């Protein structure tokens, strides 16, 4: 069977507004589809997406995990030493991040993260209404994450436009990327400066990564780049994830009621929101050899786009995929990826999500949407720009 073609543009405003009908069309077209606008292959079913993520030898990250092929074009920014690499380099850099962000290290943050979430949600509950994106989904990570990294208080807001630019850069050179690059001009210089050893407090994760230069695990040239990788991936993603969870709990009030009755479900409620909304929607791989995907022959050197969000709602894998169900076994979703590149910060992301949702469940009977939600357009991230809400008192 020839590989079917589709003219769907997954990097367009119409797609960002409502990707779900297109996701379904892509899943139904076949296990692999050619996106004629970009000349790349794409997979939208769970089985193929998972298989690609789990086979780094055939589906390489070293030629970039965006549309741009580093074998054909000079990378438009210095490639990440973790994300845009294969073993053995990947394993060496990843190991340092994984050690610093280990479940044990993250567990030590629990009390602080819960206290900050409680205080922030408490203050918001006192207000008539607020923006769940700016005032909570952004404000919370922008407090706890740079604190944990060991960063100064000033100018942390630069992390958002920086991440927004990098996540846009995995797509085509379209107007969303151009605008994001313009918006991140100051942020770029700031993030590079903040990644230096002398600008990170000795107790934080940043210093923990820099310590790898003393043991010889990384060079002194590599450590700031590995810090920058964490700064890039660690904020906009959790902003999208926390925003998604609040948006889900506001739209599915019976699920919020269930969370209030069973606060132990906060962690799974966040996980299910990551499945349902999928903050990181897409990444590419590049084939290192002729291979097959879902029984279809594919050549060497092909870019393959993985629709993580479509896989996370594939009816072949999930019952009632479009329902947000906090009691569901959400494990097995690919919202954090899978395989050697699976999100290295996921313990941190999950702790943030859990703390915010637990605080909301304690303080509110209901989350009421009081105005039109606005979407944020980004070539990779799915999230809201604004979500006006009110917490209805218990």
Judged by CB, which is closer to ligand OVV: 116, or 349? 349
3-state secondary structure of 12: coil
Return the closest-CA partner of residue 354 out of 326, 380, 386: 326
Taking the complex as a whole, how short is the minimal distance between the CB of residue 2 and ligand OVV, in angstroms? 34
Residues 6+ apart with CB under 8 A from 46: 311, 312, 314, 316, 317, 318, 334
Judged by CB, which is closer to ligand OVV: 346, or 360? 346
Taking the complex as a whole, how short is the minimal distance between the CB of residue 345 and ligand OVV, in angstroms? 8
Judged by CB, which is closer to ligand OVV: 232, or 286? 232
Judged by CB, which is closer to ligand OVV: 194, or 229? 229
Judged by CB, which is closer to ligand OVV: 8, or 83? 83
- Count of positions (residues) in the chain: 394
Q: Which residue has the tokens 């970009």?
A: 38
Residues 6+ apart with CB under 8 A from 73: none
Taking the complex as a whole, how short is the minimal distance between the CB of residue 283 and ligand OVV, in angstroms? 8
Please tell me the chain's helix, strand, coil percentages from 3-state DSSP, rounded to the nearest 5. 50, 15, 35
Judged by CB, which is closer to ligand OVV: 238, or 268? 238
Q: Enter the tokens of residue 132.
A: 């769940």
CA distances from 234 to 12, 85, 203, 331, 347 (A): 25, 18, 18, 21, 11
Residues 6+ apart with CB under 8 A from 10: 19, 22, 35, 42, 281, 282, 305, 307
Judged by CB, which is closer to ligand OVV: 93, or 268? 93
Taking the complex as a whole, how short is the minimal distance between the CB of residue 359 and ligand OVV, in angstroms? 27
Judged by CB, which is closer to ligand OVV: 58, or 169? 169
CA distances from 111 to 63, 299, 351 (A): 41, 51, 10
To the nearest 10 degrees (0 to 180), the angle between helices 346-363 and 266-277 is 110
Residue 127: alpha-carbon gap to chain centroid: 29
Taking the complex as a whole, how short is the minimal distance between the CB of residue 80 and ligand OVV, in angstroms? 3
- Give dist(CA 263, CA 5) in Å, integer: 46
- The footprint of ligand OVV (CB under 6 A) covers 80, 82-83, 166, 229, 232-233
Taking the complex as a whole, how short is the minimal distance between the CB of residue 75 and ligand OVV, in angstroms? 12
- Give dist(CA 291, CA 193) in Å, integer: 43
Taking the complex as a whole, how short is the minimal distance between the CB of residue 381 and ligand OVV, in angstroms? 10
3-state secondary structure of 296: strand
Taking the complex as a whole, how short is the minimal distance between the CB of residue 143 and ligand OVV, in angstroms? 21
Judged by CB, which is closer to ligand OVV: 166, or 212? 166
- Give dist(CA 113, CA 152) in Å, integer: 18
Taking the complex as a whole, how short is the minimal distance between the CB of residue 240 and ligand OVV, in angstroms? 12
Residue 319: alpha-carbon gap to chain centroid: 24
- Give dist(CA 141, CA 34) in Å, integer: 37
């Amino acid at each position: 069977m020839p590989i079917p073609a589709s003219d769907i543009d997954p990097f367009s405003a119409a797609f960002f507004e409502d990707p779900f009908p297109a996701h379904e069309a892509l899943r139904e077209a076949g296990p692999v589809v050619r996106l004629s606008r970009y000349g790349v292959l794409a997979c939208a079913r769970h089985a193929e997406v998972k298989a690609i993520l789990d086979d780094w030898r055939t589906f390489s990250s070293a030629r970039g995990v965006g549309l741009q092929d580093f074998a054909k074009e000079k990378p438009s920014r210095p490639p990440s030493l973790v994300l845009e690499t294969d073993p053995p380099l990947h394993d060496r850099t990843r190991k340092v991040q994984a050690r610093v962000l280990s479940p044990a290290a993250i567990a030590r943050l629990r009390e602080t993260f819960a206290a900050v979430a409680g205080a922030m949600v408490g203050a918001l509950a006192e207000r008539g209404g607020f923006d769940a994106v700016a005032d909570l989904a952004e404000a919370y990570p922008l407090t706890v994450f740079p604190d944990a990294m060991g960063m100064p208080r000033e100018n942390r807001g630069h992390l958002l436009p920086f991440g927004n630019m990098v996540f846009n850069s995995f797509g085509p050179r379209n107007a969303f990327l151009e605008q994001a690059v313009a918006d991140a001009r100051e942020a770029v210089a700031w993030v590079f400066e903040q990644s230096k050893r002398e600008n990170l407090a000795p107790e934080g994760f940043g210093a923990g990564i820099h310590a790898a230069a003393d043991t010889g695990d990384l060079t002194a040239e590599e450590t700031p780049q590995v810090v920058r990788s964490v700064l890039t991936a660690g904020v906009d993603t959790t902003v999208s994830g926390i925003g998604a969870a609040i948006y889900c709990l506001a739209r599915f009030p019976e699920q919020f009621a269930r969370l209030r009755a069973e606060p132990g479900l906060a962690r799974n409620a966040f996980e299910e929101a990551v499945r349902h909304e999928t903050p990181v929607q897409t990444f590419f791989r590049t084939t290192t050899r002729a291979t097959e995907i879902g029984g279809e022959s594919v050549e060497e050197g092909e870019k393959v786009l993985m629709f993580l969000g479509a896989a996370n709602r594939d009816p072949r894998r999930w019952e009632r995929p479009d329902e947000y169900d906090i009691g569901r076994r959400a494990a097995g979703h690919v919202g954090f990826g899978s395989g050697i590149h699976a999100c290295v910060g996921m313990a941190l992301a999950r702790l943030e999500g859990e703390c915010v949702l637990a605080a909301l469940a304690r303080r509110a009977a209901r989350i009421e949407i009081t105005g039109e939600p606005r979407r944020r357009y980004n070539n990779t991230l799915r999230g809201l720009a604004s979500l006006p809400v009110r917490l209805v008192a218990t």
